[in-house]
Structure 1
Amino acid sequence: MRIGANPEKENNQLSVEHYHRVVIPVYIPNLEEDYFKDGLVILKLCIQSLLKTIHSKTKISLIDNGCCNEVIEYLQSLYNEHDCIDQLLNSKINLGKVNAIYSAVKSNLEPLITIADADVMFLENWQSEVEKVFANFPEAGMVSPVPSSLGYRSKFVNSTIYYGLFKGKIKFEDVISSEGLKKFQESIGRDMYDPIHLEKYLTVSNKKATAVIGCGHFVATLRVEVFKSAPAEVCQHKIVGGSENLYFDIPNDQAGFLRLATKNNYAYHLGNAFESWMEKKMEEVLSSSSNNEILKELPEAQPMSRLQYYIGKLFRIFLFKKFKRQYFKLKGIKVPY
């Protein structure tokens, strides 16, 4: 039996006062195995740094993706104590990284959505610096606060290359934070960068600003339009297997959006093992006075066309595969890059 009328029928339009959402899937099934034993410590560094560095127009979705009881209790306490954490999604099984992220992405209205692994330490002003890139590059669809000198090598920067060659300018610039590059390769346990990569990275610029070409996706902010171009079917892989390429990288590129990173480093990938420097850096983050500016207006998306995407793909192969050394010499880099 139903009595009376549902009052929400008179006010049935969804609206949000904030414009930026951070989505973090968490998979820590136990704290006994060597791989996961520091998982909760790393997670706490991640969340504490995030809470310290976001502005007031931000909401957070945490996803319990098959976690152990200790982690579930911690996530529940965060949800109870912090208004900005307005969603805690629980699953008793591991849905996979992509499916967990999309469970939050597809049910929210914010135009900017940051997806981050649960082992990211956010640094002061990461959010405002990322948002400035979107403001200065309306063509951008994916922006990371962590630049990489090897980002240009991605197969998914075709629209970005077109923009750089025909609308902006591609050039090499001095790396601002070589420490950030070194910390990242330490966190994944292998050397990625040659000495020249710690000195120079490839950038794209317009009349307003400059950003680094390419980015990874352990932490990245995407326009919501990117997700609308992704496959409709459920992802069949828990992790890797090309899943992130298929659901994040390819949709961004083929929809005509740029893939960029901030010039300075504004986050660290911590990995799964706690180190003493992390505690010291966390103290710096917590004691800092964040100057996170709220974006006055997010420009309407201005993606490249499909034709421009294909032209960019042709030039990427031509310049970065066939004649990379000659092209980079013209840009001032004479050693292998």
Structure 2
Amino acid sequence: MRIGINPEKENNQLTLESYHRVVIPVYIPNLEEDYFKDGLVVFKLCVESLLHTIHSKTRISLIDNGCCKVVQEYLKDLFYSNTEIDQLLNSKINLGKVNAIYSAVKSNLEPLITISDADVMFLPNWQRNVEGVLRDFPESGMVSPVPSSLGYRSAFLNSTMYYGVFKGKIKFEDIVNPEGLLKFQDSIGREMYSKIHLEKYLTLSNAKNSAVIGCGHFVATLRADIFKAAPPEVCQHKIVGGSESTYFDIPNDEAGYLRLATKDNYAYHLGNVFEPWMQTKMETILQQPKEDQLLEELPKGKPMSAMQFTIGKILRILLLKKFSKQYFKTKGIKTAY
């Protein structure tokens, strides 16, 4: 039996008080195995740094993606004690990274969505600078606060290459923060960068701003439109297996958007082992004023066309693959890059 009229029927329009959402899936199934034993400590650094570096128009979705009870309780405490964390989604099984993220992004209205692993430390001004790139490059769809001098090697830069050759300017610039690249290299436990890669990176510029070409997706901010271009099928892989490329990188590129990163480093990938420097860095973050610089206006996305994407694909193969040595010489790089 039903009595009366649901008042929401007369007030049925969703209102949006935020324009930026951060989505973090958390998978810490136990604290005993070597791989996961520092997982909770590292995640605490992640969420505490995030809470201190976001502005007031940001909301956070945390996803319990099959966590152990201790972590579940911590997630509940975070949810009930922080207004910025307005969603806690629970799954008793590991849905996989992509499916967990999509469970949140498909049900929210913010035009900007940052996806992040649970082992990222957010540094002051990350949001201001990422949003600045998205504002100054309306053609951009995916921007990371962590630059990489190897980001240009991605196969998913076809739209970016078209823009760089015909609308903006591609050039090599001195790396602003080589330490950031070294921190990332250390966090994944293998050597990535040669000497030249710690000195120069390939950038894209226009009259308003410049950014590094390419980015990873352990932390990146995407326009919500990108997710609409993703495959409709459920992802069949928990992690890797091309899943992130299929559901993030390819939709961004084929939709005609640029893939960029900030020139300075505004986040650290911590990995799964706690190190004392992390706590020291956390203390310096907490000593700084909380960020609250908002975008006055976020321009609507201006993607490249399908024809421009195709031309960019040809340019990427020719300039960054087949004749990269000759092309880089025209940009001032004489050694192998």
- Give the conservation status (yes or no) of the 8 Å contact 1:139–1:257: yes
In terms of mean alpha carbon deviation, does 158-167 or 8-17 score higher?
Answer: 8-17
Q: Following TM superposition, by how much is the alpha carbon of 1:201 offset from its aligned partner in structure 2, in angstroms?
A: 0.2
The secondary structure found in structure 2 opposite 1:202 is strand
1:136 aligns with 2:117: no
Matched, 1:84 2:92: no
* In 1: Cα distance, 2:54 partner to 2:98 partner: 23
Please state how far the C-alpha of 1:293 moved relative to its aligned partner: 1.3
Equivalent residue, structure 2, for 1:329: 329
Aligned match of 1:166: 166
Letter in 2 for 1:27: Y
Q: 1:55 to 1:247 in 2, by over 3 A?
A: same
| Match of residue 243 from structure 2 | 243
For 2:136 and 2:236, the matched residues in 1 are separated by 36
* Partner in structure 1 of residue 21 of structure 2: 21
How far apart are the structure 2 equivalents of 1:307 and 1:106? 29
Matching of residue 297 in structure 1 with residue 297 in structure 2: yes
In structure 2, do the counterparts of structure 1 residues 30 and 291 end up closer, same or farther at CA, with 3 Å as the change threshold? closer
Give the CA deviation at 1:316: 0.3
Aligned match of 2:99: 99
Relative to the length of structure 2, the TM-score reads 0.99
Partner letter of residue 181 of structure 2?
L
Partner deviation per Cα, 1:84-116 (whole Å, 9 max, x = no partner)? 100000000000000000000000000000000
Question: Structure 1's 156 and 107: CA in aligned 2 closer, same or farther, altered over 3 A?
Answer: same
Instruction: State the shift of 1:290 in Å.
Output: 4.1
Q: SS of the counterpart of 2:253?
A: helix
* 1:215-236 deviation digits (Å, cap 9, x = unpaired): 0000000000000000011000
- Report the Cα distance in structure 2 between the residues aligned to 1:319 and 1:290, rounded to whole angstroms: 43
Contact 2:54 2:291 in 1 (8 A): no
* Aligned-residue offset at 1:250: 0.1
Distance 1:326 1:250 in 2: 28
Q: Which residue is equivalent to 1:208?
A: 208
- Aligned partner of 1:56 in structure 2 is 56
**Cα distance between partner residues in 1 of 2:290 and 2:306:** 40
Report whether the alignment pairs 1:39 with 2:39.
yes
Per-residue deviation, 1:266: 0.1
For the Cα contact (< 8 Å) 1:175–1:201, is it kept in 2?
yes
Provide runs of 4+ in structure 1 moved above 3 Å: none
What is the TM-score with the length of structure 1 in the denominator? 0.99
Matched to 1:65, the amino acid is: N
Task: For residue 172 of structure 1, give the secondary structure of its aligned residue in structure 2.
Answer: strand
The residue correspondences of 1:147-186 to structure 2 (distance < 5 A) are: 147-186=147-186
Give, in whole Å, the separation in 1 of the partners of 2:146 and 2:261. Answer: 6
**Aligned position for 1:6:** 6
Provide the aligned C-alpha RMSD in A. Answer: 0.6
Distance 2:14 2:288 in 1: 36
Structure 1 distance, partners of 2:14, 2:162, is 37
- Residues 61 and 89 of structure 1 are in contact (CA less than 8 Å); yes or no, is this contact kept in structure 2? yes
Instruction: Return the offset for 1:291.
Output: 4.5
Q: Percent identical across equivalent pairs?
A: 74
Counterparts of 1:66-77 in structure 2, within 5 Å, are 66-77=66-77
- Contact 2:55–2:291 (8 Å) recurs in 1: no
Which residue of 1 is the match for residue 193 of structure 2?
Answer: 193
CA distance in 2, matches of 1:188, 1:201: 20
How many angstroms does 1:320 deviate by?
A: 1.1
Q: Which amino acid aligns with 1:161?
A: M
User: CA separation in 2, counterparts of 1:253 and 1:323?
Assistant: 22
Letter in 1 for 2:131: E
Unpaired segments ≥5 residues, structure 1: none
Cα deviation, residue 287, structure 1: 0.6
Contact 1:22/1:113 (8 A) holds in 2? yes
Residue matched to 1:276: 276
Q: CA deviation digits over 1:158-197, x for unaligned, max 9? A: 1001000000000000000000000001000001100100
CA contact (8 A) 2:133 2:211 kept: yes
Shift of 1:263: 0.5
User: Distance between the aligned counterparts of 2:100 and 2:185, measured in 1?
Assistant: 26
